[in-house]
Amino acid sequence: MWSVQCIRCLRRSYTTQAPRAVRGMADRLGVSARKHRHIISQAEAAAESYGFEPIHTPILEYSSVFERSLGADSDVVGKELYKFLDSSQQWMTMRPEGTAGVARAVLSNKLENSIPLRLYYSGEMFRHERPQKGRLRQFEQFGIEVFGASHPAVDVECIELAWSFLNRLSLNGELSLYLNTLGDRESRMEYRAALQHYFANFEQQLSEDSRRRLSTNPMRILDSKEEADVDISRNAPAYSDFLSNASQRHFELVKCGLDELGIPYTLDRKLVRGLDYYQHTVWEVKCSSELLGRSQGTVLAGGRYDGLTKALGGLRSLPGIGWAAGVERLSLLLPDCLALAPSPAIPILIIPDRAPEPGCTARTVDDSLYKYALLVAQVVRGQRSAYIAHAPTLGTEQPSVHHPSLGKQLAGALSKEPAPPCALVVGSAEMGRRQVIVRNTATQKQVSIDLGHIVAHLVDY
């Protein structure tokens, strides 16, 4: 039981302490916000050049969407979901990834008759895991999905799009593509049985998570980062020994397609996906850079999931394939110079009136001058971005009093990155003549221009 004193202390802390962000959920502003915008815009342009169209799905889904698609035994469902019971007693989940929601949308909107579908998405995802560099509890992904096309050429096209998108970002670090095949369902079942038989001989030496996966998801043991699991996995059966002829042919066509396009790749027989509906091609792109830390090198992952729609309750098992990229990790690798504002807004500075009495430091701005500054801003925005440098105020302080000097306003405008090429200055004299002072911030030279000619004059900046 909480004592009355504890409750009072808790209430007092709410009213006296400044609010803080939730652990693992970061604010995004300045260069960070521009980096995210740059990455998403580049990804959208790349996807649309391949004929993909946008789709937006809700952040909230019924929990069954992810429990069916990710598997009840997966770490994401077992440990990481943001899940709650709503007022109508329905279990809801904040999406931990994008593919399941897109597949649900295809079924909900009865798009099976419009296949093949080529869709791309971006948005916030949520996982309650330990925050690390490049791994947050609220994070953003960009992804693509193709439904209704099973030819290996589609696999090649999706990988080509991923490779093209990442290379056009000019990231800090070397990119490497890792490739594997999971074969068809029959191949997978045979391999799964072989893995269970192999790892059963080492059950007591496996990590706790791997022992749990032994009966439910033995392929996930191959993906474990625990040192003991890694050592044991080195001599595990190779998937290539269990592939059917059809699976081998599919993978050979994928590899030949990548070779034809000149896309380098490395075969990684340990690259797996734990869920049964994943089939055939899987891949990851990693970036070797200290900016990501030692264990966070994967920036994009994809694969074919030919049974997902059936797992979600669809009448047919549509072939599907897609990939997703982590925007936070890409942002860490993106040089700051690529995320600068393309055209900085032009500040409009107001010359305050002199103090009404000798020795008084207060400077005021008449309301009529503010109206004129608003008019100037409106005219300039016909061609360029512009803003008025308002006086900073705290609490109930009057905004027209203690207006900063012109020098302080100019210093504040020039402190922005990148600095504006010019500043516009207006005072009572300029208002009376319907003019604007244009000050070149690089040369410090200035000239008075009639308001009607200001847009034409700014073409040179």
> Going by DSSP bridges, is the β-strand pair 346-350/422-426 parallel, antiparallel, or unpaired?
parallel
Residue 278 labeled ligand binder? yes
> Going by DSSP bridges, is the β-strand pair 298-304/320-326 parallel, antiparallel, or unpaired?
antiparallel
**What is the sign, positive or negative, of the torsion defined by CA atoms of 317, 321, 327, 332?**
positive
Which residues lie closer than 8 Å to 133 by C-beta, 6 or more apart?
292, 293, 296, 332
Taking CA atoms, 181 is separated from 143, 162, 178, 186, 187, in Å, by 20, 18, 11, 13, 10
* Ramachandran sector of residue 349 (left: φ over 0; alpha: ψ -120 to 50; beta: rest): beta
Identify residue 7 by its one-letter amino acid code.
I
Residue 98 labeled ligand binder? yes
Q: ∠408-435-367 over CA atoms, to 5°?
A: 60
Q: Which two tokens stand for residue 169?
A: 């970002």
Identify residue 337 by its one-letter amino acid code.
C
3-state secondary structure of 270: coil
The answer to whether 321 and 156 have CB atoms below 8 angstroms apart is: no
How far the first Cα of the chain sits from its last, in Å, is 67
Residue 226 labeled ligand binder? no
- Alpha-carbon gap, residue 233 to 269, rounded angstroms: 11
- Alpha-carbon gap, residue 373 to 365, rounded angstroms: 11
> Going by DSSP bridges, is the β-strand pair 138-147/320-326 parallel, antiparallel, or unpaired?
antiparallel
- Alpha-carbon gap, residue 63 to 66, rounded angstroms: 6
Given the structure tokens 């992804």, which residue do they identify?
A: 143
Q: Which two tokens stand for residue 397?
A: 């302080």
The answer to whether 352 and 390 have CB atoms below 8 angstroms apart is: no
Residue 121 labeled ligand binder? no
Taking CA atoms, 188 is separated from 135, 184, 192, 221, 229, in Å, by 31, 6, 6, 15, 21
Residue 99 labeled ligand binder? yes
- Alpha-carbon gap, residue 439 to 139, rounded angstroms: 42
- Alpha-carbon gap, residue 183 to 186, rounded angstroms: 8
Alpha-helical regions (H) of 275-356: 308-311, 327-333
Residue 281 labeled ligand binder? no
Residue 417 labeled ligand binder? no
Residue numbers in the known binding site for L-histidine are 97-99, 127, 141, 145, 273, 277-278
Residue numbers in the known binding site are 97-99, 127, 141, 145, 273, 277-278
